[in-house]
Structure 1
Amino acid sequence: MTQSPVSPLPPPKERRRLREAASLTQAQVAARVGVSRETVRDWENGRTTPRGRRREAYAHLLVSLAEQTAEMTAVSTAEITAEITAEITAKKSPEETEPQEAMGGRDMTVGQGARERAETAVRTAVPAAVPVADPAPPPEARPERPLSPAQAFDALYAFCAPALVRQTYLLTGRRELARESVERAFELAWQRWPEVACDPDPAGWVRATAYDFALSPWHRFRPRYRHPEPPPSDASDRALLNVLLELTPPQRRALLLYDGVGLDLPETAAETEATTPATANRLLNARAAVAARLPDLSDPTELHHRLVELASTERLRAAKPAVVRDGSERRARFWTRAAIAFTVALIGTTALTLRTAPTQYEPPVPPGETVLGVPPRVAPGPLSEKDQKLRAKLRAKMQHGPERLAPQPQ
Structure 2
Amino acid sequence: MSRSTADSASSVTLPTPKERRRLREALALSEEQVAEAMGVTKATVRSWETGRSAPRGRKREAYAKLLGSFEPDGPSSTENPAVSSASPGEAEKPAAAGKPAKPRPPSPVRAQAPAPPADVRPKAAAKRAAKPPKAPSPAPAPVRRADPRPQERLKPVAAEAPAPEPVRPAAPGLPATPGLTPEEAFDALYAHAAPGLVHQTYLLSGRRRLSREAVEYAFHHAWQHWPEVAVDPDPVGWVRATAYEYALSPWHRLRRAHKHPDAPPTEANRRALLTALLELPPPYRRTVLLYDGLGLDLPETAAETEASTPAAANRLLHARTVLGKRVPELAEPDALHRRLSALVTEAPTATLPAARAVRTGSERRTRTWTRAVLGVTAVLIGVTGFTAATAPTRYIPVNAPGETVNGVPVRGGPQKLRPEDVELRDRLRAEPNPGPERLVPTAE
- Please indicate the TM-score interval, normalised by the length of the shorter structure: 0.5 to 0.7
Matched, 1:297 2:392: no
Does the Cα contact within 8 Å between 2:198 and 2:211 map onto a contact in 1?
yes
Q: Flag as ranges the 4+ runs of structure 1 deviating above 4 A.
A: 50-57, 403-406
Aligned mates of 1:313, 1:232 — CA distance in 2: 16
- Give the letter for the 1:348 counterpart: G
| Residue number in structure 1 paired with 2:106 | 11
Q: Which residue of 2 aligns with 1:249?
A: 282
Whole-angstrom distance in 1 between the partners of 2:350 and 2:326: 27
Q: Does 1:333 align with 2:367?
A: yes
Higher-Rg member (1/2): 1
In 2, Cα distance between equivalents of 1:190 and 1:205: 12
Distance in 1 between the 2:184 and 2:367 partners? 22
1:332 offset after TM fit, Å? 0.8
* Whole-angstrom distance in 2 between the partners of 1:156 and 1:313: 17
Show the counterpart of 2:74.
Answer: none
Matched, 1:320 2:354: yes
Amino acid at match of 2:273: L
8 A Cα contact 1:165 1:317, kept in partner: no
User: May I ask how many residue pairs the two structures share in their alignment?
Assistant: 272
Partners of 1:149 and 1:334 lie apart in 2 by 22
- Do the aligned partners of 1:169 and 1:178 also contact (CA within 8 Å) in 2? yes
CA distances 1:127-171 after superposition (whole Å, capped 9, x unpaired): xxxxxxxxxxxxxxxxx9521111111222222212111111110
For 1:12, the aligned partner's letter is S
Distance 2:194 2:352 in 1: 6
User: Of the candidates 396, 399, 404, which is equivalent to residue 380 of structure 1?
Assistant: 404
Q: Return the offset for 1:236.
A: 1.0
In the alignment, structure 1 segments of 5+ residues that lack a partner are 14-42, 67-143, 368-376, 385-402
Shift in CA distance, 284/357, structure 1 to aligned 2, threshold 3 Å? same
Q: Normalising by the residue count of structure 2, what TM-score does the alignment of the two structures yield?
A: 0.56
Q: CA RMSD in A?
A: 2.9
Contact 2:195 2:348 in 1 (8 A): no
Partner secondary structure for residue 303 of structure 2: helix
Q: How does 1:165-244 map to 2 (within 5 A)?
A: 165-244=198-277
Q: Alignment partner of 1:243: what SS? A: helix
1:153 is aligned, of 181, 186, 190, to 186
CA distance in 2, matches of 1:314, 1:216: 23
Q: Aligned to 2:272, what secondary structure does the other structure show? A: helix
Question: Equivalent residue for 1:62?
Answer: 135
TM-score when normalising by structure 1 = 0.60
Instruction: Please give the alpha-carbon distance, in whole angstroms, between the structure 1 residues aligned to 2:103 and 2:215.
Output: 44
Query: For residues 314 and 382 of structure 1, do their structure 2 counterparts lie closer, same or farther at Cα, with a shift above 3 Å needed?
Result: farther
Q: Distance in 2 between matches of 1:207 and 1:315?
A: 18
How far did residue 290 of structure 1 move? 0.4
Residue 314 (structure 1) shift? 5.8
Larger helix percent: 1
Q: 1 CA distance for matches of 2:127 and 2:285?
A: 42
1:238 is aligned with what amino acid? R
Deviation, structure 1 residue 187: 0.7
Change (3 A) 1:186 1:53: same
* Structure 2 SS opposite 1:224: coil
Q: Partner residue of 1:357? A: 391
In 2, the alpha carbon distance for the partners of 1:145 and 1:266 equals 31
SS at match of 2:135: helix
Change (3 A) 1:291 1:145: closer
1:75 aligned partner: none
2:52 corresponds in structure 1 to none
Equivalent in the alignment of 1:72:
none
CA distance in 2, matches of 1:382, 1:147: 90
Contact 1:7 1:55 in 2 (8 A): no
Query: In structure 1, how many angstroms separate the alpha carbons of the residues matched to 2:197 and 2:336?
Result: 19
Deviation of 1:228 (Å): 3.3
Q: What's the CA shift for 1:57?
A: 4.7
Aligned residue in 1 for 2:59: none
Q: Name the SS of the counterpart of 1:325 in structure 2.
A: helix
Residues 382, 283 of structure 1: CA spacing in aligned structure 2 closer, same or farther, 3 A cutoff?
farther
Aligned residues: percent identity? 52
The superposition leaves residues 208-246 of structure 1 with CA deviations (integer Å, 9 ceiling, x where unpaired) of 100000011111122222343222121110111100001
Displacement of 1:295 after TM fit? 1.0
Distance 1:313 1:196 in 2: 26
